């Protein structure tokens, strides 16, 4: 079984990658929504804007029980670069590969080494599959039960946010030509502004004519954050300017912050896709890792929250623990469009038993539809 991506005729042979990608792309991203992540003070929102005919942003929160025995929680926002032909596919692939790579880790490594190696593999995979015709930014926070780390590539921003003390400030640095000039002590940037290319991206995931070794990964340490975290694509902050930070500072909850930013950005023109993920306390990501790590004994589980849906994907261990009963196969349910809230379950076919992937999609997680 293979997943063909658009007209490229390429396939995702890894069953976990295939299931995550297929599940994500079957969820419409062209409608405006804001929602909470279950009972956690985390909110996500996305809006196609008023101009673009498709939404190339992707946003997700995922919990991954990795094969190395570590429980990871990932919060990620990707903005498919509009100047590339298939930015939306690149963004979907980046989210998919990040989740699948975390699941497939066999060794326990330092979190910084994990993120660095995964992003370089994502960069290489996206470039190989899309042949440079699809690129994307990545802003993410990865947490275990004990620590967390932020990262950004491109101009999707990472903000430190404290909704209790009404503070917010940008902690990431945009990968733009202007900032690249500043980094290399080139003071005369007048030519960039004259030609209106000062905000042009200096790097993105999946670029052609570059190797993954040359990718510059920008890390954000726990000490860079005050309390909470906001990840936002440029559509959220470009048209709103300084109002963006004011909205964050005055928002009492993560859901309020997301709703207000999406509404204001569209009111200010909505020239780009608008996506935002707000986390009231970074330690919540560590709490998710701790609470969900022992949910199931016989399976490594991947849980993905995206839009108003929760995807649960179970992947049996290659070598199952001794003296444990075999899990009973879940009955399959005919595929079809789900019109009412409920659960859809399916077992992937045409793959080996030790690669068996079960998944279920739980619809309706308190979605708030915006016009």
Q: What is the per-residue pLDDT across 55-91, written as a single tens digit (0 to 9) for each?
A: 999 999 999 999 899 999 999 999 999 766 789 999 9
Percent of the chain past pLDDT 70, that is, above it, reads 73
Full domain range(s) for residue 220:
15-369
Give the burial class of 20: count Cβ atoms within 10 A of its Cβ; 0-12 exposed, 13-18 middle, 19 or more buried. buried
Question: Does a structural domain hold residue 352?
Answer: yes
Model pLDDT, residue 310? 87
Question: Does a structural domain hold residue 6?
Answer: no
Question: Does a structural domain hold residue 5?
Answer: no
Question: Does a structural domain hold residue 4?
Answer: no
Q: What is the CATH number of the domain that holds 362?
A: 3.60.40.10
Q: How confident is the model at residue 311 (pLDDT cuts 50, 70, 90)?
A: confident
pTM: 0.84
Question: Does a structural domain hold residue 9?
Answer: no
Q: Is it the case that residue 325 has pLDDT exceeding 60?
A: no
Percent of the chain past pLDDT 90, that is, above it, reads 56
Question: Does a structural domain hold residue 8?
Answer: no
Count of structural domains within the chain: 1
Q: Is it the case that residue 226 has pLDDT exceeding 50?
A: yes
Rounded Cα distance, 300 and 315, in Å: 5
pLDDT tens, 151-164?
999 999 999 999 99
The full DSSP string for 63-100 is EEE-TTS-EEEEEEEEEB-TTSTTHHHHHHHHHHHHHH
């Amino acid at each position: 079984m293979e997943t063909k991506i658009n007209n490229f005729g390429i396939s995702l042979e890894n069953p976990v990658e295939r299931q995550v990608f297929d599940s994500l792309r079957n969820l419409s991203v062209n409608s405006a929504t804001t929602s909470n992540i279950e009972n956690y003070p985390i909110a996500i929102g996305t809006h196609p804007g008023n101009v673009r005919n498709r939404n190339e942003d992707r946003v997700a929160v995922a919990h991954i029980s990795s094969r190395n025995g570590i429980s990871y929680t990932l919060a990620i926002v990707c903005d498919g670069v509009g100047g590339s032909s298939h930015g939306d596919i690149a963004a979907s692939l980046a989210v998919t590969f990040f989740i699948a790579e975390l699941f497939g880790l066999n060794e326990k490594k330092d979190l910084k080494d994990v993120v660095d190696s995964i992003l370089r593999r994502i960069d290489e995979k996206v470039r190989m599959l899309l042949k440079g015709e699809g690129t994307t930014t990545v802003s993410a926070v990865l947490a275990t039960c004990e620590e967390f780390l932020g990262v950004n590539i491109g101009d999707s921003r990472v903000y430190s946010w404290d909704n209790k003390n009404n503070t917010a400030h940008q902690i990431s640095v945009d990968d733009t030509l202007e900032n690249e000039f500043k980094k290399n002590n080139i003071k005369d940037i007048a030519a960039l502004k004259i030609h209106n290319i000062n905000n042009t991206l200096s790097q993105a995931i999946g670029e052609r004519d570059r190797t993954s070794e040359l990718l510059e990964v920008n890390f954000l340490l726990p000490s860079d954050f005050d309390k909470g975290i906001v990840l936002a694509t440029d559509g959220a902050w470009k048209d709103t300017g300084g109002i963006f930070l004011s909205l964050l500072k005055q928002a009492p909850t993560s859901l309020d912050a997301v709703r207000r930013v999406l509404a204001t950005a569209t009111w200010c023109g909505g020239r780009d896709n608008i996506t935002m993920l707000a986390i009231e306390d970074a330690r919540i990501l560590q709490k998710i890792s701790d609470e969900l790590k022992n949910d199931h004994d016989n399976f490594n589980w991947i849980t993905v929250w995206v839009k108003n849906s929760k995807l649960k994907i179970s992947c049996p261990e290659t070598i199952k623990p001794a003296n444990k009963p075999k899990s009973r196969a879940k009955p399959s349910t005919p595929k079809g469009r789900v019109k009412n809230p409920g659960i859809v379950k399916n077992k992937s076919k045409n793959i080996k038993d030790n690669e068996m992937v079960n998944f279920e999609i739980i619809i309706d997680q308190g979605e708030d539809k915006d016009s």
